[in-house]
Amino acid sequence: MKIDNGIVRIGVIGVGNMGSEHCRNLYAGKCPEIALVSVADLRHERRQWAAKHLHGVKIYETGRELIQSKNCDAVIICVPHFTHESLTVEALEAGLHVLCEKPISVTASAARNMIQSAEKSGKTLAIMFNQRTNCLYRGIHHLLHSGEMGNIKRVNWIVTDWYRTQRYYESGSWRSTWAGEGGGVLLNQCPHQLDLLIWLCGMPQNVKAVCHEGKWHNIEVEDDVSVYFEFPGGATGVMVTSTGDLPGTNRLEIDCEKGKIVCEDGLVRCWRLRENEREICFSSDNPWYQAESTISVIKTDGLNLQHIGVMNSFAAHLLRDEPLTADAYDGFREIQLSNAIYLAGWTGEKITVPANEKEFIRRLEQKISISQRKEYKDYTYETNHEGTGALHQ
């Protein structure tokens, strides 16, 4: 165990959209093994929000002050992506464990630094991949890893239920700019699905992609992406994501040698073949063989604890060595894949995963150099689990 006093004292750095949600959950006692002791935010109005809603919690202006205050065991980092690296490293070096919001960082290079810092310090670095807690994805993971379905042959994932209005992109001057955020739907919304794809199907070995920038919104980053994957075992995949489709779709199909799995509308359905298709193909004398498959809805435990589940497993890991929902290596692989998709989109080339990190950074810096920092008002929204939000101020 890494903490032996039975409770994890936690500080939340950044109490904007996501950070404030974590604070509300912790303050409401939804994570009984975590005590929220401090928060930090650079913005005066967010500290005012904390003072009003989080009685007894220490409030700092900077993450550094919070880290150096020595009153917590761990921090949750909920600041714009570009500052994940420096705050995480600072916290780890100060002897704190870290739960970092997704994506772990903007570049794989930064993630590597963070991991090295975690390894050097011996402290835990976990990533907020809350969608791993969804019973549907856990059910698919279990099914695929049972071996019952045979090898994966194809993945199709339509993830177009990330709808955002123009107003969303105006909710922070850093948002949806190359300089402030470093990317769009791939970096902000889709890390969840990229992580799940790797978790469920393994790491692709190369990618092709088309990334449309500002296709549906007045933004400089991408809001519409089509990706083609190739996996080491020969499987291929397609993922389509956008923040411009209404009503969107979230439909994951995984085709295997012994059947297929479809996750849509809150259900996982499984088609099971009696035989392995790879054997049928070469043994059947029916040119138009039709499958006799049984279709069933996968039973799950029904649990979908999202951020609360990730925070609870973080605490359980620190207190009792239980497994994390997702660790730093998961975050690293996700951003490696993400970087490769960007590079594929920017170059039009097929890109091997992991991508050339220097080339990715060189091209990102080109984008940043011509990025127009916005002059929008800093709106902050109250987010709930469904992803809807009400204007907070």
State the binding string over 232-271 for a second copy (x if CB under 8 A, else -): --x-x-x-x-x-xxxxxx-x-x-x---xx-x--------x
Is 146 one of the binding residues for a second copy (CB under 8 A)? no
Out of 24, 47, 215, 269, point to the residue binding a second copy (CB under 8 A).
215
Can you tell me which of 112, 208, 317, 367 binds a second copy, judged by CB under 8 A?
Answer: 208
Task: Go through the chain and tell me how many residues it has.
Answer: 393
- Which residue number, 6 or 288, has a Cβ lying nearer to a second copy? 288
Helix (H, G, I), strand (E, B) or coil at 347: helix
Classify burial at 52, counting beta carbons within 10 Å of its beta carbon; exposed 0-12, middle 13-18, buried 19 or more: exposed
Q: Please report where in the chains the tokens 């904390």 appear, as a residue.
A: 50
Identify which of residues 203 and 210 has a Cβ nearer to a second copy in the complex: 210
Q: Is 332 in the site for a second copy (CB under 8 A)?
A: no
Q: 144, 151, 15, 163: which is closest to 75 by C-alpha? A: 15
Q: How far apart are the first and last CA of the chain?
A: 41
**Shortest reach from residue 249's CB to a second copy, in Å:** 6
Q: Which of 147, 282, 301, 370 binds a second copy (CB under 8 A)?
A: 282
Least Å distance, CB 318 to a second copy, is: 32
Which region, judged by CB under 8 A, interacts with a second copy, from 121-129, 141-149, 290-298, 329-337? 290-298
Q: Return the sign of the alpha-carbon dihedral for residues 125, 351, 192, 369.
A: positive
Distance CA 212, CA 220 (A): 10
Q: Write out the binding residues for a second copy, residues 371-390 only, by CB under 8 A.
A: 379, 381, 383, 386-390
CB 200 within 8 A of CB 254: yes
166 binds a second copy per the rule CB under 8 A: yes
Residue with token string 């699905």: 193
Cβ-based nearer residue to a second copy, 3 or 140: 140
Alpha-helix runs per DSSP H in 41-157: 44-53, 63-68, 84-93, 108-121, 135-145
Select the span of 58-66, 119-127, 180-188, 210-218 touching a second copy (CB under 8 A).
Answer: 210-218
User: At closest approach, how far in Å is the CB of 10 from a second copy?
Assistant: 27
Among 28, 291, 297, 303, binds a second copy (CB under 8 A): 291
Contacting a second copy (CB under 8 A), which of 126, 158, 252, 343? Answer: 158
The residue (of 94 and 238) whose beta carbon lies closer to a second copy is 238
| One of 109, 113, 293, 371 touching a second copy (CB under 8 A) | 293
Strands (E), the chain: 8-13, 34-40, 58-60, 74-77, 97-101, 125-128, 152-159, 206-213, 222-230, 236-242, 250-256, 259-264, 267-273, 293-297, 351-352, 381-383, 389-391
> Helix (H, G, I), strand (E, B), or coil: what is residue 241?
strand
Nearest-CA neighbor of 102 among 86, 126, 118? 126
With CB under 8 A as the contact rule, the residue among 116, 165, 296, 393 that binds a second copy is: 165
Nearest Cα residue to 191 out of 95, 300, 326: 326
Task: Tell me which amino acid residue 173 is.
Answer: S
**Least Å from the CB of residue 3 to a second copy:** 36
Choose between 301 and 386: whose C-beta lies nearer to a second copy. 386
- Does position 202 interact with a second copy (CB under 8 A)? The reply is no
Please state, in angstroms and rounded to a whole number, the distance separating the CA atoms of residues 206 and 211: 16
Number of chain positions touching a second copy (CB under 8 A): 64
**Tokens 């099971």 correspond to what residue?**
272
In the complex, the residues that contact a second copy under the rule CB under 8 A are 153-154, 156, 158, 160, 163-168, 171, 208, 210, 212, 215-217, 224, 226, 228, 234, 236, 238, 240, 242, 244-249, 251, 253, 255, 259-260, 262, 271, 273, 277, 280-282, 284-291, 293, 348, 350, 379, 381, 383, 386-391
